[in-house]
Chain A
Amino acid sequence: MQFLSYLARGISLGSVYALIALGYTMVYGIAKMLNFAHGDVIMVGGYVVFFTFCKGGIHPVLAIIIAMGACTLLGITIERVAYRPLRGASSLSVLITAIGVSYFLQNGAMLLWKSDPKSFTSVVKLKPLVLFGGQLQISAESIVTILVSVVIMIVLIWFVQYTKPGHAMQAVSEDRGAAQLMGINVNGIISMTFAIGSALAAVAGALLLSSYPTLIPTTGAMPGIKAFVAAVFGGIGSIPGAFLGGILLGIIENLSKAYISTQLSDAVVFLVLIVVLLVKPTGLLGRKTTVKV
């Protein structure tokens, strides 16, 4: 029973990682760049929900929609100002610029909202799920997070596979030059990807903070990195892979806290990651690319 409750906690944490990783993998899959600022967009989303819902008292769903709008706008602006001029330069330049954007958002948030921690009120107002006569308890936030991640995953897969813009995304991901020649507006598609990724970040921010309520300007950084790891773990670029990677990462982290060592849990997580990549060099669900000569 103890094991089950540790497992449940792992899944809760994992579902948050999964939600963030979906945004990561989406952007990576299409734009082929590691958007290191993704975690900080989550933080911004968190602040927007904090001020509209926790302090402003408006309906949580409305607050999240406002946050999604704000983050979408932010994501598109970042893409337009900082990433698009670098299209055509080496992919590392964009990575570095993304790091610059990450610093920008963190320090901007610090100037704007100051560094004192805020305690987030959960956007989920439901009772926890109690099983086995109270021995196993799963918080409503976790259940909502898992459901939301699954829904988002399915919608994303559907969107990419069965809609016209989705097909365009696949084409851009496959071969940007060829896509352009086929009359696809590559810049528009990439902007759209950022818009979707950033909107997801706002949802992730609200749910991350509902489960783990401390909000400071660097709140997004560590979950962002962990989610990046999760996305790679599952095979970066793969949407179900991001979900699976996130859940597994959360489980591994919490079980190693419970049974190995609380202070070395990160070392265990990263060690498992390395071992998995040794066995499956493109992650759990990553596509194996064959190089034609």
Chain B
Amino acid sequence: MAQELTVDIVDWGGAVWSGTAKLVTATTSEGAIGLLPRHEPLLALLRAGEVKIVQAAGPDVHVGVTGGFLSVDADIVTVVADDAEVLAPA
């Protein structure tokens, strides 16, 4: 069964992006992290950088964040950024 991650990216001004993904990569305070379905519950601080969302169908989404944190729980990924912006596809 192909499981997917539910991803919500919010900043103080509201939801920036939401959808499903098969892989999410981000830069935390400890280094790069890749999140696949069935990841253990995690709460990590983000460094300024890029969150990449690999969708099952459709192009990758790149979101620039200026810091914040992300939480993973039961295949729900919530990225809470100080400021986030969907970058134009590279």
Q: Do A and B come from one complex?
A: no
Which residues of chain A have a CB within 8 Å of any CB of chain B?
none
